[in-house]
Structure 1
Amino acid sequence: MKKTLTLREPGADEAPAIKKKGRGWEISEKRLDALHQRAREMRRNPSPASEALAAALTEVETGGYSFKRQDVIGSAIVDFACKPLMLVIELDGDEDASFTADRTRSLAEVGYRVERLSAAAVLADPAAAAAQVSAVMRERWHERRAARATRPAQNRAPSNRNLGRRPQD
Structure 2
Amino acid sequence: MRLEPTEPEKRLWRVLSGAKLGGHKFRRQAVIGANIADFLCPQKALVVEIDGDTHADGSDAMRARRLVDLGYQVVRFTNHDVMTNLEGVCERLLAVLNAAPDRWHSPHPNPSPEGEGLNEDEVT
TM range (shorter): 0.7 to 0.9
Aligned residue in 2 for 1:79: 38
Q: How far off its partner does 1:57 sit?
A: 2.9
Counterparts of 1:99 and 1:125, CA distance in 2? 26
Per-residue Cα deviation, 1:79-109 (whole angstroms, up to 9, x for no partner): 0001121100001112111100000000000
Question: Could you list the runs of 5+ residues in structure 2 that have no partner in the other structure?
Answer: 105-124
Structure (1/2) with the larger strand percentage: 2
What root-mean-square deviation, in Å, do the aligned CA atoms of Structure 1 and Structure 2 show?
A: 2.0
Q: Within 5 A, what are the aligned runs for 1:92-111?
A: 92-94=51-53, 95-111=55-71
Instruction: Say whether the 8 Å CA contact 1:60–1:130 is kept in structure 2.
Output: no
TM-score where L is the length of structure 2:
0.73
Does 1:134 pair with 2:88? no
Between the two proteins, the alignment pairs up a number of residues equal to: 102
The one-letter amino acid of 1:134's match is L
Please name the residue that 2:11 is paired with: 52
Give the unaligned 5+ runs of structure 1.
Answer: 1-41, 146-169
Contact 1:53 1:126 in 2 (8 A): yes
Task: Give percent identity, aligned residues only.
Answer: 33
Contact 1:69 1:79 in 2 (8 A): yes
Give the structure 2 partner of residue 88 of structure 1. Answer: 47
